[in-house]
Structure 1
Amino acid sequence: MLKFHASQDLTMNVPNQAVPIEHYLRQPQRLVQAVTDRTQVEQLSPSEFRLKLRPLNFMMFSFQPTVDLQVWAQADGTINLRSLACEIHGVEYLKKSFQFNLTGNLSPESRGTATLLKGRADLTVQVELPPALFLTPKSILETAGNTFLHGILLTMKHRLERQLARDYQAWAKSMQVSADTSTMIPITNPVT
């Protein structure tokens, strides 16, 4: 059994809006959609999502994972995620022994005019060595696998850095507009 592992840390400043980011982070679907293409996500419940990744190529294999994630928020706005299940399409041999474990968190810290978001993701994959790779040294496979997983997490990090602040800003503006319009009281009989 081969085991691959990668971790990725995230630190980013997000400018504060009229609605605090903690309110935004309590909506797990927003974070999931910020990390991936909306067409690749199916919401299974308020806190569970099925994410169909794009096809991946590793060594001589091409496969497409589908991952079920649980994403939930704590009262302080911290977001947690963990994988619940993973299915592999494309390589029959991998389906039998593929084990996927993703965990992560993202926490807000108020810093005056901005909020510092700090997070970490850990990804571990275990798989039985396919016969086509029996002659490849294990150390080479482990290095290649760890690098491959690191690339996946780095792509997620870059998407989050690009998308989250923009999505939060748009969401906060829409919440501000809806709050402003709901507090307006129509005057039907003006006094003259």
Structure 2
Amino acid sequence: MLVHFAAQESVTVPVPRQPIPIEHYLRQPQRLVYAIADPQQVEALGEQVYRLKMRPRNFFSFTIQPVVDMRVWTEASNILRLQSVGCEIRGVPYIDRRFGLDLTGSLQAVRSSRSSSLVGQVALRVEVEVPPPLNMMPQMLVEAAGDSLLSSVLGLIKQQLTRQLITDYQQWVASTTQAQANNSQGNLVWES
């Protein structure tokens, strides 16, 4: 039985005022990767491509560990993009050989006269051939459980993003402004 799961999540994160605009931070996509994932679970594969090892998850009677290769880049318009370019499911070889994943997302700074925020969305779609004995279950039940699993994964990513991204941005601003102060040969003006 071939089933399709899908989930999507949107996020709006208020950005505190800093001497360096958030758009400069977004031009460093590798920082986002390490801010939303445990650095010990991330492996840089090449320019703009990272392998993220998710924590093991239970799906019915199976324990699986998704491993996703992601391309993360910033467009000229300061929109940070991410796209899955490969995946592996560790723990159940049957599922790994019959599994497809598509993850896309974006994050951009939005400014108003009073405040700034980061606005983003992510969509996750999975196609998998369900192994025995799950293939004997009603397809609607399996799809509902799969959709719920994907929603919980995206929810965890959203929590990590809202907690860690602004903290990392503030730390980056502090270290960058300190480095500029130490190299005070010229005044650098940050523009968005």
How far has the Cα of 1:149 moved from its partner? 0.2
| Identical aligned residues as a percent | 42
Q: Which residue of structure 2 aligns with residue 22 of structure 1?
A: 23
Query: Which structure 1 residue ranges, 4+ long, deviate > 6 Å from structure 2?
Result: none
Checking the alignment, whether the CA contact within 8 Å between 1:6 and 1:124 is kept in structure 2 is yes
Q: Which residue of structure 1 aligns with residue 71 of structure 2?
A: 70
How far has the Cα of 1:16 moved from its partner? 2.1
What is the TM-score with the length of structure 2 in the denominator?
Answer: 0.92
Q: Which residue of structure 1 aligns with residue 7 of structure 2?
A: 6
Checking the alignment, whether the CA contact within 8 Å between 1:16 and 1:113 is kept in structure 2 is no
Checking the alignment, whether the CA contact within 8 Å between 1:69 and 1:85 is kept in structure 2 is yes
How far has the Cα of 1:113 moved from its partner? 5.4
Checking the alignment, whether the CA contact within 8 Å between 1:22 and 1:76 is kept in structure 2 is no
| Aligned length, in residue pairs | 185
**CA distance in 1: counterparts of 2:170 and 2:114, whole angstroms:** 14
Q: Which residue of structure 2 aligns with residue 146 of structure 1?
A: 147
Q: Which residue of structure 2 aligns with residue 188 of structure 1?
A: none
How far has the Cα of 1:184 moved from its partner? 5.0
The yes-or-no answer on 1:136 pairing with 2:137 is: yes
- Note closer, same or farther for the CA distance 1:80–1:126 as it changes in structure 2 (3 Å cut): same
**CA distance in 2: counterparts of 1:74 and 1:113, whole angstroms:** 25
**CA distance in 1: counterparts of 2:97 and 2:153, whole angstroms:** 22
After superposition, give the CA deviation of every residue in 1:71-129 in whole Å (9 maximum; x if it has no partner). 00012321000000001111011011110110000011123453211110000011002
* Greater Cα offset, 157-166 or 72-81: 72-81
2:136 is paired with a residue of what secondary structure?
Answer: coil
From the CA coordinates, give the structure whose radius of gyration is larger.
1
**CA distance in 2: counterparts of 1:88 and 1:164, whole angstroms:** 27
After superposition, give the CA deviation of every residue in 1:116-162 in whole Å (9 maximum; x if it has no partner). 11110000011002111122111111111101100000100010000
Q: Which residue of structure 2 aligns with residue 91 of structure 1?
A: 92
Unpaired runs of at least 5, structure 1: 186-192
Q: Which residue of structure 2 aligns with residue 174 of structure 1?
A: 175
Unpaired runs of at least 5, structure 2: 187-192
Aligned amino acid, residue 89 of structure 2: I
After superposition, give the CA deviation of every residue in 1:3-39 in whole Å (9 maximum; x if it has no partner). 0000001111111211111111111111011111000
Checking the alignment, whether the CA contact within 8 Å between 1:34 and 1:163 is kept in structure 2 is yes
**CA distance in 2: counterparts of 1:66 and 1:4, whole angstroms:** 17
**CA distance in 2: counterparts of 1:115 and 1:45, whole angstroms:** 32
**CA distance in 2: counterparts of 1:43 and 1:70, whole angstroms:** 10
